[in-house]
Amino acid sequence: MTDIPLTDTADESAPQTTASPFTAVEETPPDKLDLWPSYVIPKEAIDAEIARLAGLPRPSDGRRRSLIRHPSATESGPGLAAGIRVTLEVLLPGERTAPIRHNSTQVVFAIHGSGEVVIDGRTRHFDQYDVWITPSMCTYVHVNNTDAIQVRLVYSNAALLEKLNVHYVDPYPPEEPPVPATKDVETDATPFDQLFKLASDDEEIWLMSYERLVNPPQQESPPLLWPVAPTTISWQSFWAARSPPLPGGATTRKRATRQSTLCCSDRPACS
């Protein structure tokens, strides 16, 4: 084994630096963690921002949006919570956004209005309070083909990816959706054995190949949309149907007389 020389044998003509690349390691005690406090955005502030975005001229990409930022967020990966970006997006009647894709995944809430979302060439209709997922690297377009303003609240992991300096955004994606690779194509691309059994007896000890470690099999993440059907009933009728009767017609739960809207989804997620 060759000993590592203790003297500096670097080229003297190379630029010299006095800064050391090494830093002492110190564990952070739990009482010194920079935890973000709760932060509430009132409805009035959200309504005012929606009105402001709706009054702006149409951007070149058609996306009127504002980042909802926590006061504790830093410049690198700002969000409403650590690693979570939340944006408020507005689309006026008759407008549509330009196609875009990125490696962050979105959970979208339609908080006002309705319209369509086109994900990888497939069009899905949504109404107020519907929720859908836009997977990573899927090209998508939002369309407002109604007479009412469309408002969406979008959650994503973009803040985390920006913090890691790996958030990729493609503002000019290809028009044709990508053809998903089949299992046979992935297998043919790797002609090596994926797993090797190390023990010859009944003991299950396996070694994963390097090719599979650096290029694991693709896991499908399809777009999903959950439609929400609002049903207006009275809390009195709601609890009466679920509480055992008592003498005098009373129930075991206090029943309110006001009307309320219960949102229920009687259909499974639609892909």
- The tens digit of pLDDT for each residue in 199-258 reads 666 667 778 778 777 877 777 889 999 998 755 555 556 556 555 555 555 444 443 333
Distance between CA atoms of residues 163 and 189, nearest Å: 33
Asked whether residue 21 carries a pLDDT value surpassing 80, the answer given is: yes
**Helix (H) or strand (E) segment spanning residue 213:** helix 210-214
**What pLDDT does residue 219 have?**
78
**What pLDDT does residue 242 have?**
53
pLDDT, greater one: 76 or 93: 93
Question: In this structure, what DSSP letter does residue 142 have?
Answer: E
Q: In the chain, what are the domain boundaries?
A: 38-178+219-232, 183-214
pLDDT, greater one: 131 or 16: 131
Mean pLDDT, residues 28-33 taken together: 73
**What pLDDT does residue 161 have?**
96
What three-state secondary structure class fits 159? helix
pLDDT tens for each residue of 148-203: 999 999 999 999 999 999 999 999 998 777 776 665 655 555 555 677 777 666 66
- Which CATH number applies to 38-178+219-232: 3.50.50.60, 3.40.1190.20, 2.60.120.10, 3.30.930.10? 2.60.120.10
Asked whether residue 1 carries a pLDDT value surpassing 50, the answer given is: yes
Local confidence band at 124 (pLDDT 50, 70, 90 cut-offs): very high
Mean pLDDT, residues 47-71 taken together: 96
Asked whether residue 55 carries a pLDDT value surpassing 90, the answer given is: yes
**What pLDDT does residue 257 have?**
36
pLDDT, greater one: 91 or 218: 91
Cα 114 → chain centroid = 20
User: Whole-prediction pTM value?
Assistant: 0.70
**What pLDDT does residue 87 have?**
97
Local confidence band at 114 (pLDDT 50, 70, 90 cut-offs): very high
Mean pLDDT, residues 51-79 taken together: 94
